[in-house]
Structure 1
Amino acid sequence: MSRIKHVVDVDTPPSAAAYARERQRPVYGASRAEVARHNKRAMAEYGDRLAADSIRNAPQPAPPVGAHPPTPELTDAGDIGQAVIDLLRVDRIEAARTRCLSRIVEEERHQAEEASRAALDARIDEALTAAWSAAAKREKVPGLLDDIVRWDAHERITQDRLNIGKRLREAIDERAVLEAREAVRGALDEIDDAVLDEAHAALADAVQAHERLALAGVAVDADAGALVDAGDDGVLSALRLWRSAVARWSDVQAVRQWCAAALARGFVVSQGSVVVVPPPRKRSGEYLRHDDAQRHNGPQAEALTQGSGAWQGDAPSWLGQGSHEALRWWVGLDEHERPEPRGVADLDDVVGVVSA
């Protein structure tokens, strides 16, 4: 019976499994120090594998929540923005607030002087009474001037008067923001007329520019090369008209966003000016309640007026916030299919959505 010989191929490296079996094989004849080093190395490798598995299987943190876009400023909304400023006259509200605050400062200064004189008279009378009584009894007269000079000035004005001044300032600010909000509501119909007039004018310019460019075979978003290739002197002026229409439409939407934000969130006094309350900060975290997420992270009034919210009737939901894209979509429709622009008279519906 022949014996089977095991041939060792020295040219083929051992497999990873063979390495693993070799690491698990007991080390016979090794010293205690070698065994300890072997066990320590094996435990370290095991710990590294556990740590890697823990990192790999750990739940990934939620992506950070972006901020709401800021409320547009009327001063940046061109002619229509200035027209709304002239209608609201918030500067008069701010001027009235400033005059009331100045009156408080003047009265507080006068009262402080009166309180100081009254307290000083009372202090002098008290010190003089004590000194006079001692002198009449032929006793040592206590000090008069030194005690009065060292008297603490903060005792001359009571805390109640300071609290009244603080509450008056708060009441003045509350009145200013209330007046600003009522000014918006009171002028909403006039603002609506101005916004719609400007919107229709922008749309008319957009149609005129689109038709002129179409006759020359040029799109509204053509580049400089297409303008040169068209060989038409009127193309450049038509493109300028288109860009002007886009800018005017952007200003109209900025005014609508501002009015919606003012009606939804109201006003606040910030750095001496009456401004629209800014959008709330978005929140995140595993303990965030659903109603808080809706209130802080849901779309604000500004966003609800954009896109399809800028038009009456049906408008595609995919319509973005860009004015160029909005006008390009609108002029591309048949004349009888083009929706009417939306003003600001029905923004109470938007406010109701935000407040819900």
Structure 2
Amino acid sequence: MSIMDTPPSDAAYAHEATRVRPNAEMSQPGRKEVAEHNKRVMAQAGDRLMASTTSVAPEPAPPVGSHPPVPDLTAQGDIGQAVIDLVRFDRIEAARTRCVSRVVEEERALVDEAHGDALDAQIDEHLTAAWSAATKKERVPALLDPVIRWDTHERVVEDRRLIGRRLRSAIDDRAVSDAQEAVTGALDDIHALVIEEGQGALTDAVQAHERLTLANLDVDADAGALVDRGDDGALSALRLWRAAVVRWERAQAVRQWVAAALDRGLTVSREGSVCVVPPPRMRSGEWLSEADRQRANAPQAEERTRGSYCWQGSAPSWLAGRSAHEVLRWFVGLDAGDRLSPRGVVSDEVSA
């Protein structure tokens, strides 16, 4: 039995009283004192239980005038890790790193070699002219100055480096192409994961809601209300509700990530990792064309995949942008026959 099932006994109360007031004279506690002590301990246990409930910190609100950021798969628990394991960007990133390292290695050697060969050719050319003049007892032309001037303005090294930059760009393009194929190839599996996680969250939310209703509580109850009600099962129900909220948040974050990947595509970051192209910066100004304004300021895929877009069927438009807690509270308030099914990632509308 847990501490929630067995309130402290009179002996436990007396022990605490002795610990807190060691010099106090021992006396048998009254019923009122025992009841107050039990209520205090129950409240503390409820607070510990609520604090230990699985949850995720809410994502910080985007700055004013900016689009919501791309969800981070690594922050989405088991379902996020499952998607990471499906697309395997790590393999693509590793192949890219090895190819880039090879370019750098060759570039360093070949550029130095090319520069040295070209410099030797210039020295030989000017030395031949100077030697010829010297043997004829003519004025010897400058040797050092033209070589230095050529070295300052020569294009051989720059041309070789340009090839290296083109190679790096081609490597990044190949990484993006393979990553895009990995996402589209895994869509059916990601779809199944999202549906399963979303349906599980809805099932748990309904179960928690029904159990709390039996205790004359609702999903907004806090630890104090649970203690006042004195129903131990309600604590577990509220914990189940909070876990369902987290599962729903994470399933929807995966949907938003996929929508953004399909809508804006993927890119290679400065750190060399494959990621979703970030949303454009919102723009304004007197000289901004309407086409550019629409392109930069129109709702992005992440925004268009939230709220009522979570459902297969019709849902109130006001759900768009609401928290997972609010969405699930609306869902459990429907009659069983009116409850909608969650939507996955296949056939989602990601275009405006």
- Asked if 1:330 corresponds to 2:327, the answer is no
Q: Contact (CA 8 Å) 2:123, 2:147: kept in 1 or not? A: no
CA RMSD for the aligned pairs?
A: 2.5
Q: Contact (CA 8 Å) 1:131, 1:141: kept in 2 or not? A: yes
Partner of 2:347: 346
Pairs within 5 Å for 1:138-287: 153-154=151-152, 155=154, 157-271=156-270, 272-285=272-285
TM-score by length of 2: 0.74
Q: Contact (CA 8 Å) 1:209, 1:241: kept in 2 or not? A: yes
Residues 240-271 of structure 1 show CA distances to partners (whole Å, capped at 9, x for unaligned) of 11101100110000000010011000122222
Mean alpha-carbon deviation: is it higher for 279-288 or for 79-88? 279-288
Partner of 1:81: 80
**Counterpart Cα distance in 2 of 1:276 and 1:266:** 6
Letter in structure 2 aligned against 1:297: N
Number of matched residues? 287
> Displacement, 1:280?
1.6
Mean alpha-carbon deviation: is it higher for 90-99 or for 245-254? 90-99
Residues 31-75 of structure 1 show CA distances to partners (whole Å, capped at 9, x for unaligned) of xxxxxxxxxxxxxxxxxxxxxxxxxxxxxxxxx972111111111
Letter in structure 1 aligned against 2:129: A
**Counterpart Cα distance in 1 of 2:302 and 2:150:** 55
**Counterpart Cα distance in 1 of 2:231 and 2:64:** 49
**Counterpart Cα distance in 1 of 2:345 and 2:222:** 35
- Asked if 1:295 corresponds to 2:295, the answer is yes
> Displacement, 1:123?
3.2
Name the SS for the 2:268 alignment partner.
strand
> Displacement, 1:104?
1.6
Q: Contact (CA 8 Å) 2:260, 2:276: kept in 1 or not? A: yes
**Counterpart Cα distance in 2 of 1:127 and 1:93:** 50
Partner of 1:49: none
**Counterpart Cα distance in 2 of 1:274 and 1:86:** 14
- Asked if 1:72 corresponds to 2:71, the answer is yes
Task: Return 5+ residue gaps in structure 2 as ranges.
Answer: 1-62
Larger radius of gyration: 1
| CA 137–93 in structure 1, closer or farther in 2 if over 3 Å, else same | same
Q: Contact (CA 8 Å) 1:220, 1:242: kept in 2 or not? A: yes
Partner of 2:307: 307
Residues 106-143 of structure 1 show CA distances to partners (whole Å, capped at 9, x for unaligned) of 22112112213312332342244235434543567778
Name the SS for the 1:217 alignment partner.
coil
Partner of 1:98: 97
> Displacement, 1:289?
4.3
> Displacement, 1:167?
1.9
Q: Contact (CA 8 Å) 2:111, 2:160: kept in 1 or not? A: no
**Counterpart Cα distance in 1 of 2:229 and 2:189:** 44
> Displacement, 1:152?
6.2
Partner of 1:316: 316
Q: Contact (CA 8 Å) 2:122, 2:147: kept in 1 or not? A: no
**Counterpart Cα distance in 1 of 2:280 and 2:72:** 17
Identity level (%) = 66
Task: Return 5+ residue gaps in structure 1 as ranges.
Answer: 1-63
| CA 287–217 in structure 1, closer or farther in 2 if over 3 Å, else same | same
Pairs within 5 Å for 1:8-23: none
Residues 140-174 of structure 1 show CA distances to partners (whole Å, capped at 9, x for unaligned) of 77787x66995765537343222222222222222
